[in-house]
Structure 1
Amino acid sequence: MYRSLSSILLGGLLLAAAPAPSSAPGAPGALKSAALKDLDAAYATYRDVAQQIWSFAEVGYKEKRSSALLQQILRDNGFMVAAGVAGIPTAFVATYGSGQPVIGLLAEFDALPGLSQQAVPTKQPVAGQDAGHGCGHHLFGTASVAAGVELKKLLAQGKFKGTIKVYGTPAEEGGSGKVYMVRAGLFQGVDAVIHWHPANENRAMLNNYLANTSAKFRFHGVSAHAAMSPERGRSALDAVEAMNHMVNMMREHVPQETRIHYVITGGGKAPNVVPDFAEVYYYVRHPRKDEVKAIFERVVKAAEGAALGTGTTMDYELIGGTHDLLLNQTLAQVLQQNLLRVGGVRYTDTERTFGQQIQTSLGFAAPPLDAAGQIGPYAMHEGGGSTDVGDVSYVVPTVGLEAATWVPGTPAHSWQAVACGGTEIGSKGMLVAAKTMTLTGLDLFTTPALLRQAQDEHRRNVGAYQYQPLLGNRAPALNYRD
C-alpha cells in the first residue's frame, strides 16, 4: 500500500553508506546490455499484458484472471508453477533452476475498490466497473514477471547458476497476502528478494513504511420503529458512532507518528428502522510493530465501551497485519547503480499533453514533467503507508525501487493514477522497473560476496527478534472485499 509524498532528506543528509562489498559487485557489462536489449524487444508484449490486467481491475483475493494470465506466461517460459499456495486461490510460486543462490521477485496484481477510471485525463469512470488500479499493481506484477522471464533466459543459457522464483502475491491492499505466504514458509531458503512499486518518480525504495493492523468491528443491537417505539431498540449504528468518537478523542493521546483510519461499511438501511447491525473497518499504523499492538488494544477497548454504553454487543475480525519494512543498504546501493544505468521515462508530445492535463486536475503545483526522466538521490524518504513486503523483509534480505508510472505529482490511490496506468506513461515506467530488477538480479546471481554482505546486514537488522505475524493464526480473509 503505497503513499506517494514529496521526497525529503532526513535532516538534509544522505543515508550513511553501507560498507563496500569485499569484491566489486556487478554482472559483466555485456550481459547486462544484452538483457536490456531483450527487454526492449519484449516491451509491446508486456505492455499488452499489463493493460489486460488493468482492464480486469480485480480486487484483493478476487484476482482470478490476473493471476491466471501471469501464471500462464511463466509456464510458457519454462517455469514450474505452484498455484493456490498458502491457502490463497490466486497466490502462486513459479520456479526455474536449481541450487543456490535463490533469488525471488514479488509480483502484485490487485486493484482498489471505488477507483474505476478510463485512460483519459479527466475523471470518467468505466461504466459498470467499480474498481481500478490506483496503485498500479497491474504494472507491478507484469514487470516482475518480465524480469523473472529474462533472468530465466540467461540462466537457461548457462550465464550463471541458481534458482529464480516469482511470487504471485495477491491482496496487498489490506489483505496481507504476503504475510500468509511468509507464514507458510514459502520464503525459506531464499537468499534475496527484489520488488518495486509504481510511483510518480524513480528512486531506490528507502521509505519508512509503517507496521499496520486492521480489523472489522461488528455491533449487534435490536431493531425497532425509530419513531413509534425507539425505546425498544438498541442501535448498532450508535455503537459505531460512539466507538469512532472515543477513538477520535484518543488521537491526542497516542504517539504522534500514529495513523488511525476508519470507514463505516454498514450502518442500517432505512432511517425509520433502528439498525440492529453496523460495521466499521479500522486501520492502525505506527513505525513500530509493538506500538501498533498496544494502540490496537486501546481501539478494541473503545469498541467494548461503545457496546456497553449503547446496550449492544460487539465482535471483531482481524483482517490484516503487516510489519514495518527493513531496509538493506547493501542491496539498495547496488539497485541504485542499476537504476542510474537504466534511466527514467521520456514522454512523447502526446504524452506530455496528457500529463499536463493530469497535473492541472491535481489542484496543486506539481513537479515538472521532465522529472519522470530523472533518478532521485540515494536518500531516506518520508513514508506513511504500509506494505506486506515488510513481513518478507523480516525473513529474507529485500530491496525495492519506485518507477515513474504516473505523471510527476500524481498521488497514489487516485483516479489520476488509474488513468496514467492505462497508458504508455504507465507502461514506460513499468519497463524501467523490469530492467532495474533484472540488472540487480544479475548482480546477485553473479556476485556471491554481495549476497553474503546483504545477509550479514539483514541479520544485524533483525537482531534477536523472532518473527511472528501480526495477524496471528487466522486463515486468509478471502472475502474481506465483500
Structure 2
Amino acid sequence: MAAALPAWAGKDDIAKSVAGLADESWEMAKNIWEYAEPGYLESKSSKLIADRLEKAGFKVSRGVAGIPTAFTATFGEGKPLVAILGEYDALPELSQEALPVRQPRKEGNGYGQACGHHLFGVGSMAAAMALAGEIKAGRAKGTVRYYGCPAEEGGAAKAFMVRAGLFSDVDVALHWHPGSRNSVGDPSCLARVAVRFRFHGTAAHAAGSPERGRSALDGLLLAIHAVELMREHTPTGTRLHHTILSGGGAANVVPEFAEGFFYVRHPKSEVVRELYPRLLKCAQAGALATETKLEVVNLGGTLELLPNPSLSAVVQANMKKLNKLRYDDEETRFALKLRETIPGKLPPLDDIATVHESYGGTTMGSTDVGDVSWVVPTAGFSAACWAPGTPGHSWQAVACGGTTMGKKGMLLAAETLAASAFDIMTNPEAIQNAKAEFKKRLGEDGYKPLLEKDQKPPLEYRLPARRAAGGE
C-alpha cells in the first residue's frame, strides 16, 4: 500500500518556484534543442545545465564515471537523498525546424531532439532547483542530486555511472520522459545490447580486377541476412534491429570497409545474454564467407526497468493533481496540421488533459534508467510534450519539442517531479514502502549488468569509424 501523502498546501511554493523558472528554463531547452548534440558529445548542453545548477548553489562534479559530459549536482545534506535524472542527447538524421511539415534545419549537424531530451534535461533541472528551495527554506530535510546523463540513445551512460558507484548513497530515484500523452505507472521495458560490426576487406577495381578484392560490404550484407534468418528462431518478444552506417563510396570500387549498427532486445536480460552470442556468430559467418576481417565494437547493454508500484503511486497522485494542460489556438492549429502527416487513428487533442495509468506490462523500448532501477527504488512518468499520437524518434517529435507544446509538458513534468520528491522527503513511510517493494522485486540474483568486464564508455560511438591509420 502507498503511504498517505502530506497535505497539498505544503507544495504551493514548489509551483511558484517552477513558474519563476519557466521562461529561463524554456530558453535553455530551446538552446539544447538547437545544439542537438550526439551522445557522449553533448559538451554545450551538459555545460549549460551544470553551470546553471552551480549558480543556484549546487555542488557540481563534472566528468564523472570517466564521461566528460556526465555530471552530478548536489544540494542539501543528510538523508533522505533523492536523485532526479536528466538527459540531453539527440538522434541522427532527424534535424527538423519547429514546423508542422518536414523541413530539416539548414544549420546544425543533422541531429534532432527526436526523443525530447532537451526538455527532459532542463525540466529535471527546474525540479531539482525547486526542491532545493524547499530544503533551503526548511520545509524539507535531506539532499537532492541531479544526474546529468549523456548518451541514453544507445550509449548506456547510466550503466557506467551505476558501475562507478554514483548511486550508492541514493534512497530514491525519479525520472520522466517527454511523450505524446501523460502517463504514470510501473511498466518495465526491453533489456538491450548495442554493437557495431565493422568489416575490413580489400579494395580493387570492381570490373577490371574483382578477383583481387574482398568486399567488406558483402561481409556485412551476409551478416544481416543471417540475422534475418535468426529472427524466426528467437523467443517471443525479441527485437532485432540494424542499420548500415558505411558501405563504400563508389560502385566501381570493391568496398574496403563497411559497418553496421545492431541492437538485440528482449523483456528479460537473461534472454539478451543468450541471444548476443548468436548475433556475434552471424557477423563471424559473414566475415568467414567473404574472407574479410571482423571488428566487434560492443557499445554496452542496459537492463529492463524494475517496477516500483508504491513509488509510482506517489508520482501518480501528484501528476493528477497538477495536470492542467490545454492547447491554445496556435498550438491547436499546429497540432492538427502536423497530425496530417501521421498515419493511423490518432487520439483526440484533448487527450493531454488526461493522466493515463499504465501499471504492469512492458513498453517496447529501452532505457539505461533500467540499470538505475536495479540498484535504487525508481519511478518515472511521461508528460505530453508532443501532439497526441506523435511517435517518438520522428521529425514530428522534434518539431513539437521546439514549440510551446514542449514547454507546457516540460513544466508539468518539473512540478510533478519536485512535488513527488517533496512527498518522499517529508514522508519516511513512502521511502520505507519503496525500499520494501524494491527488495521484494530484486530477488536473490540482484543486479547483473549487461556491460562486459572492464568495458569503457564508448565515447566515440556516434563518430565515423577510423577506416585506416591517420584517416577517417
Normalization by structure 1: what TM-score? 0.94
2:91 to 97, 108, 112: 112
1:65 aligned onto 2:66: no
1:99-126 deviation line (CA, Å, top 9, x unaligned): 1100000000111111111111111111
Task: Report if aligned partners of 1:202, 1:344 keep a CA contact under 8 Å in 2.
Answer: no
Aligned runs of 1:351-362 on 2, under 5 Å? 351-362=331-342
1:92 aligned onto 2:71: yes
1:35 aligned onto 2:14: yes
**Partners in 1 of 2:12 and 2:445 — Cα distance?**
41
1:338-377 deviation line (CA, Å, top 9, x unaligned): 1100014211011100110011111322111100111113
Alignment-derived partner of residue 466 in structure 2: none
Distance change >3 Å, CA 344–CA 380, structure 1 → 2: farther
1:113-148 deviation line (CA, Å, top 9, x unaligned): 111111111111110320110000000001100000
Alignment-derived partner of residue 112 in structure 2: 132
Task: Report if aligned partners of 1:407, 1:420 keep a CA contact under 8 Å in 2.
Answer: yes
1:308-356 deviation line (CA, Å, top 9, x unaligned): 1111121201012100001100100111111100014211011100110
Alignment-derived partner of residue 469 in structure 2: none
Deviation at 1:434, TM superposition (A): 0.5
Alignment-derived partner of residue 265 in structure 2: 285
Task: Report if aligned partners of 1:74, 1:81 keep a CA contact under 8 Å in 2.
Answer: yes
1:358-411 deviation line (CA, Å, top 9, x unaligned): 111113221111001111135335511100000000000000010000000000
Distance change >3 Å, CA 192–CA 147, structure 1 → 2: same
Structure 1 unpaired stretches of 5+: 1-18
1:225 aligned onto 2:205: yes
Alignment-derived partner of residue 207 in structure 1: 187
Amino acid aligned to 1:80: K
Alignment-derived partner of residue 6 in structure 1: none
1:411 aligned onto 2:405: no
**Partners in 2 of 1:242 and 1:201 — Cα distance?**
41
1:85-107 deviation line (CA, Å, top 9, x unaligned): 00111100000111110000000
**Partners in 2 of 1:29 and 1:344 — Cα distance?**
16
Task: Report if aligned partners of 2:185, 2:316 keep a CA contact under 8 Å in 1.
Answer: no
1:479 aligned onto 2:453: no
The structure 1 segments of at least 4 consecutive aligned residues displaced by more than 6 Å after TM superposition are none
Aligned runs of 1:80-479 on 2, under 5 Å? 80-129=59-108, 130-380=110-360, 382-472=362-452, 473-479=454-460
1:53 aligned onto 2:37: no
Report the secondary structure of 1:78's partner residue. coil
**Partners in 1 of 2:189 and 2:373 — Cα distance?**
11
Give the percent of matched residue pairs that are identical in Structure 1 and Structure 2. Answer: 46
1:79 aligned onto 2:79: no
**Partners in 2 of 1:290 and 1:305 — Cα distance?**
24
**Partners in 2 of 1:20 and 1:352 — Cα distance?**
37
More deviation in 375-384 or 260-269?
375-384
Deviation at 1:257, TM superposition (A): 0.4
**Partners in 1 of 2:189 and 2:359 — Cα distance?**
15
More deviation in 467-476 or 76-85?
467-476
**Partners in 2 of 1:41 and 1:68 — Cα distance?**
22
**Partners in 1 of 2:357 and 2:376 — Cα distance?**
25
Task: Report if aligned partners of 1:344, 1:375 keep a CA contact under 8 Å in 2.
Answer: no
Deviation at 1:20, TM superposition (A): 3.7
Deviation at 1:153, TM superposition (A): 0.6
Report the secondary structure of 1:209's partner residue. coil
**Partners in 2 of 1:430 and 1:448 — Cα distance?**
28
1:197-228 deviation line (CA, Å, top 9, x unaligned): 00000011433310000111111222211111
- Number of residues paired by the alignment? 461
1:281-328 deviation line (CA, Å, top 9, x unaligned): 100000111110111110101111111111112120101210000110
More deviation in 374-383 or 314-323?
374-383
1:53-78 deviation line (CA, Å, top 9, x unaligned): 11111110111111111011101110
Alignment-derived partner of residue 13 in structure 1: none
**Partners in 1 of 2:447 and 2:331 — Cα distance?**
45
Amino acid aligned to 1:72: D
**Partners in 2 of 1:348 and 1:54 — Cα distance?**
22
1:413-469 deviation line (CA, Å, top 9, x unaligned): 111100100010001000110011011001110011110110011011111123232
**Partners in 1 of 2:187 and 2:211 — Cα distance?**
52
Task: Report if aligned partners of 1:234, 1:310 keep a CA contact under 8 Å in 2.
Answer: yes
Deviation at 1:41, TM superposition (A): 3.0
Task: Report if aligned partners of 2:63, 2:71 keep a CA contact under 8 Å in 1.
Answer: yes
Task: Report if aligned partners of 1:225, 1:274 keep a CA contact under 8 Å in 2.
Answer: yes
Task: Report if aligned partners of 2:318, 2:420 keep a CA contact under 8 Å in 1.
Answer: yes
Task: Report if aligned partners of 1:344, 1:429 keep a CA contact under 8 Å in 2.
Answer: no
Alignment-derived partner of residue 11 in structure 1: none
Deviation at 1:31, TM superposition (A): 1.6
**Partners in 2 of 1:382 and 1:367 — Cα distance?**
21
**Partners in 2 of 1:64 and 1:205 — Cα distance?**
33
More deviation in 124-133 or 405-414?
124-133
RMSD: 1.2
More deviation in 132-141 or 119-128?
119-128
1:44 to 5, 11, 23: 23
